[in-house]
Chain A
C-alpha cells in the first residue's frame, strides 16, 4: 500500500503536521484490552449502580421506568437500522426514511398538530429550540414560562436565550398549577412565546386551553410540553390551541440509560413548517412512479442554508424515534388508551394510599395522570435513604429546584408499578417518617 502511495513509511503520511505539534509520545491511557476484559471492567462499573431492575423505581421527573417490549430491541438492534448514517441517499435508505415518516404520523396524531419532525435530541433542548422558532416567527424577544415547566427545560431555555438574546420571565404556581392571573399579567405584545407543560412538573394536569388564551390574545406562540404516555387519555395540545407541542420521547420505547440517548419530539401548526428544526421525511415518487420517501424541506437545514438555517441540528435521534414508533405500534390504538387509563387509575390509587400515611400530605389537589407530589413530615433525603434500604427508590426530591417545597417528593407511576409495590412504598414511607420523627422527638 505504501508503494502505491509513493511513501516509505506510515510516518511520512503525517509529515504535514508540523513537528512541534506532533505528540511524540503515546497517549497517557492504558494499553488496549481484550473483549472479555472490557466486558468485565464495564460489568463491574454497572454493578455499582442501583438500577430499576434491582430496586423498585418510583422516580420520574421526565424519564420513566416503562416496560420496553422485546421487539423494540430486536428491531432497533438490526444492523440495517443500527449502522447506517443519515439518509442522504434516499434510494438505499427507504427503510429509515419510512420509519421517520411513520414516527411523524404517530406524533402528529398524538399531539393533534398537523406537522411533526423526525425527532430532536431530547426534551428540554427541544423546548429551547421552540424558543428559537418563536423569535423568528414573531420578531419578539421575550418568553413567559410557567414555573411548573420542567426545571431542566427552563434552564436549557435560559441557556439558549443567552445566545439569541431573549428575556425569560417566570410565572409562579398556585395550588400545583400555573398561576393563571399571573400568567395573563406577564404576557403582552412583547411576548414571543408562552411555555406550559401538562402534566406539569408536579404531575398536575393543566387547563392549557384556558391558560393559553392570554398567549393567543397577545399574538404570542403557545408552546406546550407534554408527556407522550398521557396522550391516550388527555386532550391533545393541538385541540387546546397549542402552536407547538413537544416533549421528551423517552417513555416511548426508550430505556432510562441514566438520561439518554432518547428522542425529543416536536410538532407544530402548518404555518411554522418552514421554520421547523430537525429532519423531516416526506413522501414522493421515483422516476417509475413508485412511492418513496426523502428528506423533505432540506432548505431549512444547516448543510444547505448554513448561517441562515432554522437550526444547527444535524445528527439527531433516528434510532430512538424508531424505538418509539415500534412501541406505539405494539401498544396500538386500544393498548395506548388502556395504558393511559391504567396510569391514571394507579396514580390515583397511589396518591390516595400515600396520603393516608401518617406524615404524608398531598402537595396539591389538582388532577394528576401519572405522577404526583407529596410533602413529607421528615427530612426527604433521610426518608429516601430509609426507603432505599428496603429496595425502593421512592421518588424525586423537589428541594434543589423548588426550595419552596423543601419537604416535597415527586412520585411517578408506570405500568410496572403494581398495587403491591405501591403499598410497599406507603409502608416504607410511613415507617421511615415514624422512625425519623421519633428520633427527632428523642433528641428534643
Chain B
C-alpha cells in the first residue's frame, strides 16, 4: 500500500480480516454441554477403534463474547437491504417484514419435526395447503408443489416434469428453447435435465424474435422457457402466439417466475398459456435473501402436468360424518417424477411467504405490482432526464415494467468509464449497485429493479448519485475507475482467487 493510501484508511479498512479460526486459543470455549447422566465406558467399547477419529477436528477454541464480537464485526462488513437501497435487477430486493421472522420462529413451526405424523402436524399441512391454493390463484394454474428449494431447483423439477409428460405419451424430445435474454439458471437446468439448449434471438422490441422461433420450433422441442416480463423488464406482447406455436408442436411452456413481481394480481402465467411456473418466494413473496439463501421455488402446473408432480404432495381430504377437513401427505402418486429433496420443502420459508400473502391480501398484492412498476418507470424517467440520458441510455426504447436495463456503452466510449466502474463508485455513495453485465445481449448492461417498498425520496437520491458520478467522471474519469474508496476493502483481485484458489483457512 502506498503511504498515501495508508494515511487515508478508514477505521474499518484498518481492521484487517481475521477468521474465527485465527482467534482460537487452546483451552478456551463457549458452550457447555449437559452431563451424560448415563454410564460412560470408553468409546472403543461401543464402536470399534478403527472407525473412530484419532484427533477431534480443529474447530476454533473461543469464548462466547469473542464469538459474538467476531460475527458482529463481520456483519458490519456487509451492506444489507435494511440499511439501504438495493436495486439489484432480477432479485426483487423488497422489504422483509419482521413479523414474518416472528411467526416462523414460533415453536409450533420452528421445532416441528418434518417426520411428525401428519395427524399431529395439521397446522403445518394446512398452512402449506393454503399457500398452495394462494399461489395457484396468483399463477392461474390449478396445482402447486412446494417442494423445490429455489428457483433453479424449480426449473429442474419443471423440466423433469416435461420429460415425464412426454415420456408418458410415448414421446422422446431432446431440445428446449430459451431466449438469449434468459437467466443463466435456465440453460444450466436444461443441461442437468438431459436436454439440449436451443437459443432464440431477441427482436428489436426486446421480445422473442418470432421468425427465429418459428424456424426453431419442431416436434423435437420439449419445452420453451420464458420469463415474462423478461429480464429486460419488457412484457412479450406476442406471448399468445408463442404459446400456440409451442402447444401446436406438442411442447410445454415454462414460466420463470423471477419477474412475477411486475404482474401479480394483474396478469397470470396460466392465462398466458404456460403449463409450468416456478415462483421465487424469496423474490416476489418477501423471504429475506440471507446473503444468498435460503429461498424456495414452488412450481404451479396445469392439469395435464399434475400427475407427474413430485411426491409427497400436500392434500386436503374432506371429513366424513360432519367432521371437518383434514390434511395429509400423499405419497401414492404412481406417475410422479419422485422427490427432488428430503421431506416436504423449506417450510420456514412457506410460513414467511404465507404471512406476507395474508398481510397484503388480494388488494395489496396487486398494489405491490403497481408500485413496483411505478417506481421503476419513475426511476428510469428520472435517470433519463439527467446525464444518464446521454451516457446510460435505455437498452430498449419502449416502456419497461418493474425493472429496466440501461447500456453503459456511451459512458465507456465517451468517458472511459465502464459499467463496473460506475457500480463500484455507487458503493461510495451508500448504494448497492444494480445488476451489472446482464442480460448478456446488452453491451455494458446495468439492470435496475427498485421494488415497491422504496420511497420517491430514495429513488431521487439514487438518480442524483448517478448524475453526480457522471458529472464527476466528465471532470476526472479516474475517480470512478479506481473506486471504491470507503468500503471495508477496495477492489479485490478476483483473478488471483481464480489462479491459485485459497478456499479455507490453513489450520496449525
CA distance A153 to B99 in the complex (A): 34
Q: Is the CB of A163 within 8 A of B349?
A: no
Given contacts A86-B289, A92-B432, A163-B192, contact A302 B53 (CB under 8 A): no
Identify the closest chain B residue to A395 (Cβ): B115
Q: Is the CB of B355 within 8 A of A38?
A: yes
**Chain A residues near B497 (CB-CB < 8 A):** 282-284, 294, 296-297
Q: Is the CB of A313 within 8 A of B152?
A: yes
Q: Is the CB of A51 within 8 A of B108?
A: yes
The smallest beta-carbon distance between B201 and chain A, in angstroms, is 16
Q: Is the CB of A331 within 8 A of B59?
A: yes
Identify the closest chain B residue to A336 (Cβ): B59
Q: Is the CB of B150 within 8 A of A314?
A: yes
A6-65 contacts to B (CB < 8 Å): 6-7, 10, 13-18, 20-23, 26-33, 35, 37-39, 41-54, 57, 59, 61-63, 65
CA distance A14 to B373 in the complex (A): 8
- With most chain B CB atoms within 10 A of its CB, the pick from A283, A322, A346, A396 is A283
Q: Is the CB of A283 within 8 A of B502?
A: yes
Given contacts A82-B288, A89-B432, A258-B112, contact A335 B339 (CB under 8 A): no
Q: Is the CB of A309 within 8 A of B184?
A: yes
B433: interface (CB < 8 Å):
yes
Q: Is the CB of B360 within 8 A of A32?
A: yes
CA distance A325 to B109 in the complex (A): 23
B341: interface (CB < 8 Å):
yes
The smallest beta-carbon distance between B126 and chain A, in angstroms, is 6
The smallest beta-carbon distance between B179 and chain A, in angstroms, is 12
Identify the closest chain B residue to A45 (Cβ): B123
> Which of B233-241, B387-395, B406-414, B466-474 sits within the interface?
B233-241
Task: Map CB proximity to A onto B121-143 as digits: 1 under 8 Å, 0 otherwise.
Answer: 11110110000001001101000
From A4, A6, A21, A233, contact of B240 by CB (8 A): A21
A-B contact number at CB 8 A: 701
Q: Is the CB of A23 within 8 A of B265?
A: yes
From B93, B191, B292, B346, contact of A87 by CB (8 A): B292
**Chain A residues near B482 (CB-CB < 8 A):** 287
> Which of B28-36, B246-254, B315-323 sits within the interface?
B28-36
Q: Is the CB of B188 within 8 A of A307?
A: yes
B117: interface (CB < 8 Å):
yes
Q: Is the CB of B363 within 8 A of A156?
A: no
CA distance A340 to B292 in the complex (A): 30
A290: interface (CB < 8 Å):
yes
Q: Is the CB of B295 within 8 A of A315?
A: yes
A393: interface (CB < 8 Å):
yes
A138: interface (CB < 8 Å):
no
**Chain A residues near B59 (CB-CB < 8 A):** 106, 109, 328-329, 331-333, 336
Q: Is the CB of A292 within 8 A of B492?
A: yes
**Chain B residues near A71 (CB-CB < 8 A):** 30, 64, 67-68
> Which of B41-49, B213-221, B298-306 sits within the interface?
B41-49
**Chain A residues near B191 (CB-CB < 8 A):** 307-309, 312
From A79, A162, A205, A209, contact of B80 by CB (8 A): A79
**Chain B residues near A364 (CB-CB < 8 A):** none
A282-317 contacts to B (CB < 8 Å): 282-294, 296-297, 299, 301-309, 311-317
B399: interface (CB < 8 Å):
yes
Identify the closest chain A residue to B107 (Cβ): A53
B326-361 contacts to A (CB < 8 Å): 331, 337-349, 351, 354-355, 357-361
CA distance A79 to B385 in the complex (A): 34
From B117, B337, B423, contact of A388 by CB (8 A): B117
A381-435 contacts to B (CB < 8 Å): 384, 388, 393, 396, 400, 415, 418-420, 422
A-B contact pairs, 5 of them (CB 8 A): A23-B267, A287-B493, A333-B56, A349-B38, A422-B38
Using A29-B357, A82-B80, A122-B342 as known contacts, list a sample of 9 further A-B pairs with CB atoms less than 8 Å apart, ordered by residue number in A. A7-B377, A49-B122, A85-B88, A109-B58, A150-B342, A158-B338, A162-B338, A259-B345, A335-B31
Closest 8 CB pairs of A and B: A46-B108, A319-B290, A32-B361, A259-B343, A259-B114, A48-B123, A261-B294, A79-B82
